[in-house]
Amino acid sequence: MANEIKRELTLTREFNAPRELVWKAWTDPKLITKWWGPRGVTTPTCDVDARVGGKMYIVMLAGKELGPFAGKEWPMKATIEEFVPPERMVSISEPLDEQMGIMLEVKNTLTLEEQGNKTKMTLHMVVTKVTKMGEFAVAGMEQGWNQSLDKLGELLGGM
């Protein structure tokens, strides 16, 4: 089974958008599909039950830009543990592999702070479990999340 390791990552961004809009981008499936995933990845499936105890199911799809990974799907399920609109959401996410099941478990804490018409977003992630198959995901977590948050900023800038 999985070896338990601790890996932490904290990303902070300032968006030129009101907090309610940033919150909506994190909780509305129609908006999530427009930014979730690193460059070259789309999100054809996104189901979100935005409430405490609610479930999320997201599937990312690798595009041709990712060469040998093109067409590969990366599903993820999550459970929302804390939900305080529009300022805080805590979830436990579990990226999945078709053959092996859960690859890792990550506790995600999203915090949104109003700063005038801007929003400071802090995303803190703690990897609580990882399998051998999940090590590549942990290794790419920082780069992947930075690219996703770049896409989020572009989306918010265009709204």
Dump pLDDT digits (tens) for 87-132.
999 999 999 987 768 899 999 999 999 999 999 999 999 999 998 8
| Separation in Å, CA 133 to CA 36, 44, 73, 130 | 22, 23, 15, 8
Split at pLDDT 50, 70, 90, the class of 133 is: confident
Which pLDDT score, from 0 to 100, does residue 100 have?
66
Domain coordinates in residue numbering, the chain: 7-37+83-157
Residue 1 reports pLDDT greater than 50: no
In CATH terms, is domain 7-37+83-157 a member of 1.10.600.10?
no
What's the pLDDT tens digit per position in 49-60? 999 999 999 999
Contact 94, 78 (CB under 8 A): yes
Q: Whole-structure pTM over 0.75, yes or no?
A: yes
